[in-house]
Every structure is written in structure tokens, then in C-alpha cells.
A and B are shown apart, each in its own frame.
Chain A
Amino acid sequence: DQQVKQNSPSLSVQEGRISILNCDYTNSMFDYFLWYKKYPAEGPTFLISISSIKDKNEDGRFTVFLNKSAKHLSLHIVPSQPGDSAVYFCAASRRRGTGTASKLTFGTGTRLQVTL
């Protein structure tokens, strides 16, 4: 049962253009969402997160949008740079409210290639 889905295995974007990575989830109990970037032979690097009480969060070139009614979130990267080429994972969790982070449920990832 894949509760977090990234339906696009790969995406190719020209340098300077916008990259849009999509993620869908099925579990309505998820209330915290994160995006991670992963290079080969490295662990995932945290990029940006969003709580379910918001519909948008920005951090520099990265913006995450959340549509709770559609159970959909997206990561926008503007402008895209060659160094952004990596695998991007969407993750979701259900906050405990007890002070400790909850387990993350990941999608299968989208490989982004930014071309010159």
C-alpha cells in the first residue's frame, strides 16, 4: 500500500527554467510534509517542509505548495540550476504532538536532470 506516490520517475528541465515535482498521498492523517534531495552515494538532504495548516512555504529558490483537498503537494524550483540534478523524495508524517518526530513515509522519488 503506497501511501505516498511520486508518479513521475524522471523529469528533465533546462537551466534557468522552473522545475515542478509532484507528490500525492492517500492517508488523510498525514499533517507534515517534507522534501529531500538525494545524490548518489549520499544520504537524503532536507530541503523544505510544510505543515498541513499552511498551503505554501518558501525558502529561497524552493517553494512547496500543499492542496489538502486533493491530497497533493508540489515542489517548485526557480530558477533551476545544474547542481539541482538529483533524486527528489517527498515524505509525509503524522505528528505525535509529544515532542518527538514521527516516522516518515516516503515516495519512490523523481530524478531531476537540469540541462544546460
Chain B
Amino acid sequence: DAGVTQSPTHLIKTRGQQVTLRCSPISGHKSVSWYQQVLGQGPQFIFQYYEKEERGRGNFPDRFSARQFPNYSSELNVNALLLGDSALYLCASSRQGTDTQYFGPGTRLTVL
């Protein structure tokens, strides 16, 4: 089975721009979570979606938003980009009834 996929792999934006990151979960997984990892730190939780509903939100500003589609894929949107938004954005999926999350390869966002 294919793992979690994310696109694009890399992205370069300038301050003030907007970005959309995409994620497809493992087949059969209905829950998708987003994490931000900055250099030297562990991933930080941003959002979780299950059955198209938001189930959790981390300590991130309203510039960050997400949604989940009927096929369980998900998008993360970040508006008004700041230099500090430069990070690796990770998507993870999990199967209903389990507690283990499986991560995709990430999208490396650079804000100039």
C-alpha cells in the first residue's frame, strides 16, 4: 500500500504570500493531522481532521487553516507568510480505532 503522500516537495515563497499544501492519507485512513517542524525541534501539532471535521487545533495563529475532503485528503493553507513560517510541514494519517500516526515525507517551505 502507498504511504502518506504530500505535495509539493519543496516550495519557496516571499513574505506576505499565501501557500497551500496537500496531503493524501494512507488508503483506509480517515484521520489526517498536520505538524510543523522547524530546524532543531520536534514536530509541533497544527490541526487534526476526521471525517471532514476539525478535531483539534494547536497553538498557531488564524493565518493557518485546513480542510479535509470527502476522499479524506487534506489541504493546509497559510496566509500572510512570515519568515518564521519556514519549516518542514508534515502530514500524518491514522486508521480509525488506532493511536498510531504515520507520516508523509513532508513539504519544505522556505519564506524569503
Contacts and interface: CB of A to CB of B under 8 A. Distances in A.
A, B co-complexed: yes
B105 A42 contact: yes
Interface string A24-36: 0000000010101
B17 interface: no
B58 A43 contact: no
Interface residues of B, number: 31
A111 to B, nearest CB: 11
A85 interface: no
Given A43-B104, A44-B90, A102 B56 contact: yes
B44 interface: yes
A36 B42 CA distance: 11
B54 to A, nearest CB: 12
Nearest to A90: B42
Interface in B7-24: none
B72 interface: no
Interface string B36-66: 0000111111001010000110100000000
Contacts, number: 69
Contacts of B104: 43
User: Which of A45, A93, A99, A100: most chain B Cβ within 10 A?
Assistant: A100
A50 to B, nearest CB: 11
A109 B45 CA distance: 16
A43 B99 CA distance: 18
Given A45-B103, A95-B99, A106-B43, 8 more contacts: A41-B105, A44-B90, A99-B96, A100-B94, A103-B33, A104-B33, A104-B43, A108-B41
15 contacts: A34-B100, A42-B105, A42-B106, A43-B90, A44-B43, A49-B99, A93-B99, A95-B99, A101-B94, A101-B101, A103-B33, A103-B45, A103-B58, A104-B101, A107-B42
